[in-house]
């Protein structure tokens, strides 16, 4: 099966899981043809098909509750229950029981692709080493959340620099097309409204476009004035991981809450899953940090180390996983992660070339 057939079949399955927005799917296809990195981000379903092509010692490693669709732009900031700024992985749409190696290989592959696009300067082999070093250290010490209110000075400086300009942020959010109440799913409306501050002004609702892997899913935002400024809550439709499509099963379990509750994590109190809706606070300081937005002068090795550390924070949520992973890692050759990431990058480039060619081919 090639990438074109895989995309058709996956989207056919996806349409049975949730109501898709056709115009957003078309935009997603166009984004996928622009360059290999957005293509990679948008095609986790294809990654799962390619994954078994790796050596079985990698693809068949011990399983944990893992992120799945992990990449260098799947990290961002939020506020914890004490108002402290926290940093870490902030998208678990594809959470599933995967080999622990998958998150590491996918993160390293994304870093290599970012390097190819000149968004990272770190040498490829050192990328893998930094990720593994952070992962090893977190396993050894039991993990630790990244709370930027204390310590982590360099990471706090990067995060603070990349917090969105509030005026521009709210201008963009309030510019999305307003949704009529009769077209708004009742559960999404109720959960967003419940999460708004008490006694805020009457909210209005907009349809939002964001992300790549989940582009085409329903996303709505409730926006209201409260005590002199804007507040917003988003509801995003969730579906089971693409792993359920690969397995050929029906409407499977969504693991979002499981991974949030069990990871070594400084939790966002406004982050909730209700049935098949993810509801969360939106604000300029609760945002992903695109790799293209990072300052020119930065310590990439330490950044990748922290990403690897955060992956282990998630994996440590699986009971008794630590010992099995540590034992498995001892068996591996020094370059295993770098070699696996290069192999996956090669396959992704091949698929991207085929996808882009299909977009420029005249219709029959």
Chain position carrying tokens 């914890």: 80
Alpha-carbon torsion, ordered 312, 268, 74, 283, to 10 deg: -160
Bridge partners, residue 280, by sequence: 234
The predicted pLDDT at position 296 comes to 64
Rounded Cα distance, 284 and 248, in Å = 39
Secondary structure element (H or E) that encloses residue 24, with its range: helix 22-32
Bridge partners, residue 273, by sequence: 278
The predicted pLDDT at position 159 comes to 74
The predicted pLDDT at position 364 comes to 42
Evaluate whether 348 touches 39 at the Cβ level (below 8 Å). Answer: yes
Bridge partners, residue 75, by sequence: 89
Residue 158's closest CA among 290, 294, 266? Answer: 294
Query: DSSP label at 150?
Result: S
Rounded Cα distance, 79 and 268, in Å = 6
Chain position carrying tokens 């922290």: 306
- CA-based R_g, the chain, Å: 20
Secondary structure element (H or E) that encloses residue 37, with its range: helix 36-42
Residue 93's closest CA among 266, 216, 1, 204? Answer: 216
Rounded Cα distance, 296 and 133, in Å = 23
DSSP-derived pairing of the beta strands 96-99 and 204-207: unpaired
**The token pair that represents 155 in the structure block:** 């990471």
Query: DSSP label at 203?
Result: P
Bridge partners, residue 76, by sequence: 88, 288
C-alpha count within 13 angstroms, C-beta hemisphere, residue 31: 21
Per-residue buried b or exposed e for 269-298, using 16+ beta carbons within 10 Å of the residue's own CB: ebbbbbebbbbbbbbbbbbbbebeebeeeb
**The token pair that represents 181 in the structure block:** 């109440």
The predicted pLDDT at position 245 comes to 94
Those residues with Cβ within 8 angstroms of residue 236's Cβ, 6 or more apart along the chain or in another chain:
214, 217, 218, 219, 277, 278, 279, 280
The conformational region for residue 216 under phi > 0 = left, psi -120 to 50 = alpha, else beta, is left
| DSSP per-residue string spanning 274-308 | ETTEEEEEEBTTB-B--GGGS-SS--HHHHHHHHH
Compute CA distances 231 → 82, 106, 206, whole Å. Answer: 18, 35, 13
Average pLDDT for consecutive 10-residue bins of the chain (364 residues)? 95 90 87 93 96 92 96 93 93 96 98 90 89 97 91 78 77 88 91 95 88 76 95 94 87 88 94 91 85 71 94 96 93 93 97 91 48
């Amino acid at each position: 099966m090639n990438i074109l057939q895989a995309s058709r079949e996956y989207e056919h399955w996806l349409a049975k899981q949730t109501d898709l927005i056709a115009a957003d799917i078309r935009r997603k296809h166009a984004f996928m043809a622009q360059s290999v990195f957005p293509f990679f981000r948008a095609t986790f379903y294809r990654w799962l098909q390619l994954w078994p092509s790796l050596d079985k010692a990698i693809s068949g490693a011990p399983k944990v509750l893992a992120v799945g669709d992990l990449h260098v732009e799947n990290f961002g900031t939020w506020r914890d229950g004490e108002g402290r700024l926290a940093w870490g992985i902030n998208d678990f749409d594809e959470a599933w029981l995967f080999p622990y190696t998958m998150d590491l290989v996918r993160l390293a592959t994304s870093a290599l692709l970012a390097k190819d696009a000149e968004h990272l300067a770190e040498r490829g082999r050192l990328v893998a080493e930094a990720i593994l070093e952070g992962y090893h250290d977190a396993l050894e010490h039991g993990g630790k959340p990244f709370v930027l209110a204390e310590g982590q000075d360099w990471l706090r400086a990067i995060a603070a620099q990349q917090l969105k300009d509030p005026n521009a942020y709210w201008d963009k959010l309030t510019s999305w097309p307003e949704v009529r109440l009769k077209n708004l799913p009742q559960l999404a409306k109720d959960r967003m409204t419940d999460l708004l501050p008490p006694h805020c002004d009457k909210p209005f609702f907009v349809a939002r476009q964001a992300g790549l892997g989940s582009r085409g899913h329903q996303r709505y935002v409730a926006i209201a004035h409260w005590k002199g400024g804007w507040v917003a809550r988003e509801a995003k439709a969730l579906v089971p991981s693409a792993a359920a499509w690969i397995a050929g099963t029906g409407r499977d379990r969504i693991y979002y809450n499981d991974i949030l509750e069990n990871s070594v994590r400084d939790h966002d109190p406004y982050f909730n899953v209700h049935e098949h809706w993810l509801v969360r606070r939106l604000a300029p300081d609760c945002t992903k940090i695109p790799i293209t937005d990072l300052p020119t002068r930065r310590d990439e090795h330490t950044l990748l180390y922290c990403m690897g550390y955060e992956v282990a924070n998630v994996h440590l949520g699986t009971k008794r996983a630590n010992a099995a992973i540590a034992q498995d890692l001892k068996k591996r050759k020094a370059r295993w992660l770098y070699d696996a990431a290069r192999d996956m990058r090669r396959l992704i480039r091949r698929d991207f070339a085929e996808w882009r060619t299909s977009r420029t081919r005249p219709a029959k």
